[in-house]
Amino acid sequence: MVAFHLSERDEERHLAGSDELWGESWYHDFAAADGAYGGYVRLGLYPNLGVVWYWLYLVRRGQPLVLIRDHAAPCPAKDAPLDVVGDRFRASWRCTDPLTTWHITTEGTGIALADPSAAFHAEQGPDVPVRIDLEWRGAAPALPYTETTRYEQAAWVEGEMVVGDHRIEVRCPGERDHSWGRRDWWSFPWLWTAGRLDDGTWFHGVRSLVTGAGASNFQTGFVIDPDMTLHRIEQIEFTPELDAEKMLVRGDLELGGLQLAVRAELHAPVLLVSPEGAESRFPRALSHFATPDGRAGCGWTELNWPDGWPR
């Protein structure tokens, strides 16, 4: 299949479909090259439900997970700027150079979880003031998907994150994506991952994880060589080891011909509940990646486990 034609206007909001679960999201993450800190932020619009799902998850080695998660913030009007205000935060998203640069700010009160798996169990912890002021600048061209309206881009991330009285100057690799269409987190499981190795190789991969007779799985991604040549890939293999909470411990990953041993280091999971009450566990983790020839790096790995998965 051929990827849709990507234009600068695709950075903007799209006309909503009629499906209740039609959504549009901008999703940005970052991970220090040594794995000392990282985070992700997601702006997810559900215009037919009239709400925004807003996530800010920040991790630091040796420190609790700190998060803002609001699934009931009011959705901005169609032609309004991407500004969102919830009960415990305010945020601004600005595309300052289409298909290249985004500037995101968020300020509010987060929750600290000493045990990240508490995100699956009532999500209770002490309040912590948090703030980010970050810019994502494309390191390579955005790659449109072939089977859905979505694109991904490797990026450099600069700015600052503040947790309580701890300020971190952010300068590290990251990833961003923008997608629109039906957003049903409770229908099938998947893997998503992205990162950068210390030789300058960037990578990204996504695939569904449906098993059983006749299962067909969507698979796509890219590998960017150190000379910045981008290769689209269509074959991804992943064998994960999970803990009792369905969070990743380690795994063996192959993206095209790139083989990676994955080790989850700093967990930042989310519990997703549908309007009908169905649940899906969404474990994300800042992860360490290593190749058989000794290259290494960091990035993010996520899994989606609707009720009944994995099997």
Structure tokens at 288: 């360490």
Q: What is the pLDDT of residue 215?
A: 73
Which of 110, 13, 12, 106 minimizes the C-alpha distance to 64?
110
- Give Rg (Cα) of the chain: 18
**CA 120-125-128 angle, 5° bins:** 125
> What's the CA gap between 273 and 250, in Å, rounded?
26
Number of Cβ within a 10 Å radius of residue 169: 10
Encoded tokens for 116: 């990240």
- Pairing status of strand 279-282 against strand 270-273: antiparallel
Class of domain 19-306 (CATH, top level): mainly beta
Every domain of the chain and the residues it spans: 19-306
Residue-wise burial string across 254-267, b where 16 or more C-beta atoms lie within 10 A, e elsewhere: ebbebebebbbbbb
One pLDDT digit (tens) per residue for the chain, 311 residues:
667 789 999 999 999 999 999 999 999 999 999 999 999 999 999 999 999 999 999 999 999 999 999 999 999 998 899 999 999 999 999 999 999 999 999 999 999 999 999 999 999 999 999 999 999 999 999 999 988 999 999 999 999 999 999 999 999 999 999 999 999 999 999 999 999 999 999 999 999 999 876 778 899 999 999 999 999 999 999 999 999 999 999 999 999 999 999 999 999 999 999 999 999 999 999 999 999 999 999 999 999 999 999 98
For residues 242 and 247, what is the distance between their CA atoms, to the nearest angstrom?
5
Tell me the C-alpha distance between 45 and 178, whole Å.
11
**Given this model, what pLDDT does residue 2 score?**
67
Which are the contacts of 50, defined by CB distance < 8 A and separation ≥ 6?
74, 75
Peptide bond preceding 141 in cis form (omega within 30 of 0): no
Amino acid at 181: G
Question: What amino acid is encoded at 190 in this protein?
Answer: W
Q: In Å, what is the CA distance from 134 to each residue of 32, 80, 167, 216?
A: 14, 21, 13, 38
Beta bridge mates, 62: none
* pLDDT of the residue at 1: 60
Closest CA to 60 of 133, 140, 161, 157: 161
pLDDT number for residue 147: 85
